[in-house]
Chain A
Amino acid sequence: MTKGSSPVQTISSQALGNGRNGKGRVTKEIARRSFRTMLEARILEEKLAALYRSGKIVGGVFLGRGQEALSVALGVHLRRGDIYAPLIRDQAGRLAFGDTILDTLRTYLGSSLGSMRGRDGNIHRGRPSEGYHAMISHLGAMVSTVCGGLIAKRFRGETGVVGGTCIGEGGTSTGSFHEGMNMAAVEKLPIVVVVANNQFSYSTPNDRQFACDDLLTRAAGYGIRGRRAVGNDLIDCLEVLGEAVAAARAGEGPQLVVADLLRLVGHGEHDDASYIPAALKESPLGRDCLDLAAEELLNNGWVTDSELSSWRTAVEKEVEETAGKVLREPAPDPAEEDWNAFAVVGRNLSGEDEE
């Protein structure tokens, strides 16, 4: 949690009177679409956890439970032609940007038909040639990678494009993050960097992670615009990210968005998160963004109980059917893998030897 008030430019929560930072311009349509995507992410991740517990998924399973509102709010504001480099807890943002339930399951289950073909797994998936970057585990590395994509677009004269990437508060301690942020600022790139401050980097609490009062103050250090969002409030996240993405698209340079929230699961499914104090879980920070969003959409009359119920049924059906299908798909065959393809590199796109 933040320890004090921020000296950087943000809209005062008190001024708005509702704890929110945005200006109240979220449409019914975008709220409904975002909520539906959050629901897909939640149900899909519950299935991933079940598959992990039953031994069907090897390696780790890393869930974004409790972070769907913030995650979806970036993904939903990006569009084709933009660049998106999600991180570990961004299933909702990924689905909003165009990733699918099918490819998520294929990557987690190691299907040879998935985008990663069993060569990489779980959250390390993407289609970089389509602007959807595949994260590496080394935190902070994707900030400068997104910068590079944006510089390429600048060279080609493409305007009105945005790059978005996400990181946790722990990742902000890396040199890579700092270098990337500084580079983005120097080049005045249209990048939106979302920091999900979920209070624990794996098990490490914030007082062992950074010493500044508020991560948002770092925006001033980089010379870029900083904004705050309420991390478990879908409408606020949509408003703030909508503003940040629009500002970047309009040429106003890098945008840092910091949001406090709480991860409602372990770091991975192997972790019971016993280090998170009960009091914090019971605080407003621990309220589930999906419940809060459902409540607000119902109150606004933007969705009905029966719609919510039918959405849930439809998503559960899709996830179950897709998982069943993917479980029957072929695993990668070591006998068919070209193990020498990368021992002797030196390909040329114009030649015949491209894979």
Chain B
Amino acid sequence: MSITYLEAIRLAQQRVLAEDPRVFIYGQDIGGFGGAFKATKNLAKEFPGRVLDAPISEDAMVGMAIGAAVEGMRPIVEMQFADFSTCGLNQIVNQAATLHYRTGTPCPLVVRLPSGGTPGGGPFHSQSMEALYAHYPGLVVMTPATVEDAYTMLLEAVALDDPVIFCEHKFLYYHLKAEKLPEEALPFGKARITRPGRDATVVAYSAMVHEALAAAEDLSQDGYDIEVVDLRTVKPIDTDTILASVARTGRLLVVSEDWPWGGVAAEVITRVAAEGFGLLDAPPQRLNARETPVPYHPALWGTHRPTASSVANSLRQLLEL
């Protein structure tokens, strides 16, 4: 049996629905239709009344989840695309994120964001929103890169008492596969050293982990040994694992599919510069998406986002500094 990243998300939801009566799912076209990507396929049939179609009202969808969470439920909101979550931004950042701080009442909800670019997605079906949400105190932001993490981290997201922004990458939905789902997971908020190395560290997350791994493989042909760190959760961020890696390699490249301004890559570099300046043998570098809206045509899109090839180029430049 082989399980895709998307199926792992479906199975995680099936499991929390089965095990926790507080869980329900709310989103557009997720009921009988099973969702735009089929992340809730057959769940409405299996759990009648608990997988509910929502009107096209992202603000109210999140507001509803907040009210239900306050009453002790564990709602999962599916945004059809991460891009549309900006229509619910106010409820997420001003109500869900502030509620526990202001009132002492927890707000345990999960907002699932089908994130990131795919060929032909274009400006409004391709965005990476993690930095935007990580900016606001009170939110957890998860960015799983593997089938196993997609499964265990979604279980974890539902168990947490804080609002969680769950950034699942659409590009990984179908082609990323695992033979079985794990019984155990890394601790919450812990980064993973996906590939150990000694010459340079690449910090990445979500789909960029796979571009970084391919680039590391490429550079191994030249005799370089590249370490790849998968952040898994961008907030909280596992600064300790990053610093420990940089202490081994002395060189840092951060890769993010998001735009550079105020992004996760900027945050990682700030932390390493502030807390680990002496560990660095070269200026820390970042590779982000180009600073334009995400383009439609696959030829433009393939250049807009970091790829194994552009990561490898950045690494070669870093190794020469």
Contact = CB atoms under 8 A, between A and B. Distances in A.
Say whether A and B bind each other.
yes
Interface of A: 83, 115-116, 119-120, 124, 126-129, 133-134, 136-138, 141-153, 155, 175-176, 179-180, 182-183, 186, 342-349, 354-355
Contacts of A348: 159-161
B102 A149 contact: no
Contacts, number: 154
19 contacts: A116-B103, A129-B104, A141-B90, A147-B60, A148-B63, A149-B68, A151-B73, A153-B71, A175-B59, A176-B59, A179-B57, A180-B59, A180-B63, A182-B60, A183-B55, A343-B137, A345-B236, A346-B140, A348-B160
Interface residues of B, number: 47
Interface string B1-40: 0000000000000000000000010000000000000000
Contact of B72 (A145, A152, A186): A152
A130 to B, nearest CB: 9
Given A116-B103, A144-B66, 16 more contacts: A115-B104, A119-B102, A128-B70, A133-B67, A138-B90, A141-B94, A144-B61, A144-B62, A144-B63, A148-B69, A149-B67, A179-B59, A182-B60, A345-B236, A346-B236, A347-B106
A339 B178 CA distance: 41
B145 to A, nearest CB: 19
A186 B101 contact: no
A30 to B, nearest CB: 28
Given A128-B105, A175-B59, A176-B90, A141 B95 contact: yes
Contacts of A176: 59-60, 63, 90-91
A144 B236 CA distance: 29
A151 B68 contact: yes
Contact of B160 (A142, A153, A346): A346
Nearest to A147: B64
A147 B69 CA distance: 11
A355 B62 CA distance: 24
Contacts of A182: 55, 57, 60
B24 A148 contact: no
Interface string B138-167: 111000000000000000000111100000
B57 A183 contact: yes
A133 B189 CA distance: 31
Contacts of B63: 141-145, 147-148, 176, 179-180
A116 B162 CA distance: 18
B214 interface: no
Contacts of A142: 63
B231 to A, nearest CB: 14
Contacts of A180: 59-60, 63
A143 B95 CA distance: 13
B59 A148 contact: no
B232 to A, nearest CB: 12
Contacts of A149: 67-68, 70-71
Nearest first, the 5 closest Cβ-Cβ pairs linking A and B are A148-B67, A144-B63, A152-B71, A179-B60, A179-B57
Interface in B267-299: none
B188 interface: yes
A335 to B, nearest CB: 18
Contact of A144 (B60, B102, B139): B60
Nearest to B98: A136
A124 B99 CA distance: 11
Q: Which of A147, A155, A344 has the most CB of B within 10 A?
A: A155
B95 A179 contact: no
Interface string B89-119: 0110011001111111110100000000000
Given A128-B99, A148-B64, A138 B94 contact: yes
Contacts of A127: 103, 105
Nearest to B71: A152
Nearest to B157: A346
B161 A145 contact: no
A141 B67 contact: no
A179 B50 CA distance: 21
A128 B67 CA distance: 9
B306 interface: no
Given A141-B63, A148-B64, A152-B73, A346 B188 contact: yes
Q: Which of B66, B67, B159 has the most CB of A within 10 A?
A: B67
Contacts of A126: 103
A126 B105 CA distance: 10
Nearest to B237: A344
Given A183-B60, A345-B140, A145 B95 contact: yes
Contacts of B98: 136
B250 interface: no
A321 to B, nearest CB: 27
A144 B72 contact: no
Interface in B174-188: 188
B68 A345 contact: no
B137 A151 contact: no
Nearest to B187: A346
Q: Which of A128, A148, A149 has the most CB of B within 10 A?
A: A148
A347 B162 CA distance: 6
Contacts of A145: 63-64, 66-67, 70, 91, 95
A126 B103 CA distance: 7
A21 B92 CA distance: 39
A142 B60 CA distance: 9
Contacts of A150: 67
A189 B8 CA distance: 34
A150 to B, nearest CB: 7
A116 B95 contact: no
Nearest to A174: B59
A347 B65 CA distance: 18
